[in-house]
Amino acid sequence: MIATIQYNSRKLQIDLSQPLDISIPLKASETNVNAWYIGPPEINPVVIDGNTISVEKGASVNFNSINFNPHAHGTHTECVGHITEKVHSVNKYLKQFFFLGEVITVAPEKQDHDFVISKKQLQFALGNKKRDALVVRTIPNIKDKKSRQYSNTNWPYFTLEAIELLVNKGIKHLLVDLPSIDKEEDDGILAGHNAFWNTSGKLRMDATITEFIYVSNKIEDGTYFVNLQIAPLENDASPSKPILYKILD
């Protein structure tokens, strides 16, 4: 199915029959991707008056409760409420779900004892392109990203200057294949998050960060139409399912 979409002053044709899912599914398993020092998600049937509500156990339906943390257990989209004292809901402030986006691939650079994504790398990859969304794939890009246990690994992160560049370029939606755009242990500074949402000035309420994506190596760098789907949770973050669509020539 080919759809023609008027986006700002451009007419774009996208193939809706070929969605490219860049989310990581959530499962009740030790192999579920994880960060932030907590256990895996739990999905269990409800027990009422000693009866397990599961078809396997003789019930007419499956009726599971799910215990998970959106920040730790998979692909999630967060808003400024993640770092503000006042509660802000991503469900309230993310009101548009389709964006012109760019997929780029970067190899984090060694900096002292860390690996970082730098301003220079992003500037080289983006050039003068104007995009609403940026999808960042880091290399090496291997499938164990879908099950990696990130706690205490000092994952790569974005430098402050890199995030400031993205804000200056008008990037509203940043999608990354890391547990966070910031360093794992930074004494709570969260320089990248604070810069992206401009907490020292007028808050960028409609800007989002999506973490824990996985961009297959089969997906080429370039321009895509991004559909950012979230669950309607009144919370600073929600599990999400970002989808890429190729733009046809």
Is 65 contained in some domain?
Answer: no
What pLDDT does 224 receive?
Answer: 96
Q: Read off the CATH number of the domain in which 149 is found.
A: 3.50.30.50
Q: What is the arithmetic mean of pLDDT over 102-127?
A: 97
* Token reading at 173: 């939606």
Is 121 contained in some domain?
Answer: yes
Residue 127 confidence (pLDDT) above 90: yes
Which pLDDT band, with edges at 50, 70 and 90, does 1 fall under? Answer: confident
**pLDDT per position as a tens digit, 128-137:** 999 999 999 9
Residue 239 confidence (pLDDT) above 80: yes
Is 215 contained in some domain?
Answer: yes
Q: Helix, strand, coil proportions of the chain in percent (round to 5)?
A: 15, 35, 50
What region, left, alpha or beta, does residue 155 occupy, with left being phi > 0 and alpha being psi -120 to 50 degrees? beta
Residue 109 confidence (pLDDT) above 80: yes
The residues, any chain, with a CB within 8 Å of residue 182's CB and separated by 6 or more, are 157, 158, 189, 190, 191, 192, 193
Which pLDDT band, with edges at 50, 70 and 90, does 9 fall under? Answer: confident
**pLDDT per position as a tens digit, 174-202:** 999 999 999 999 999 999 999 999 999 99
**pLDDT per position as a tens digit, 157-175:** 999 999 999 999 999 999 9
Domain of residue 123 covers: 2-34+70-246
Is 58 contained in some domain?
Answer: no
Q: What is the mean pLDDT of the chain?
A: 96
Vertex 35 angle, CA 33 and 37, to 5° = 130
Is 54 contained in some domain?
Answer: no
What pLDDT does 72 receive?
Answer: 98
Is 59 contained in some domain?
Answer: no
- Stated pTM of the model: 0.96
Is 178 contained in some domain?
Answer: yes
Which pLDDT band, with edges at 50, 70 and 90, does 12 fall under? Answer: confident
Is 150 contained in some domain?
Answer: yes
Residue 52 confidence (pLDDT) above 90: yes
Which pLDDT band, with edges at 50, 70 and 90, does 43 fall under? Answer: very high
Work out how many domains the chain is built from and give that number.
1
Instruction: Report the alpha-carbon distance of residue 13 to residue 100 in Å, rounded.
Output: 12
Residue 249 confidence (pLDDT) above 80: no
Vertex 42 angle, CA 37 and 47, to 5° = 145
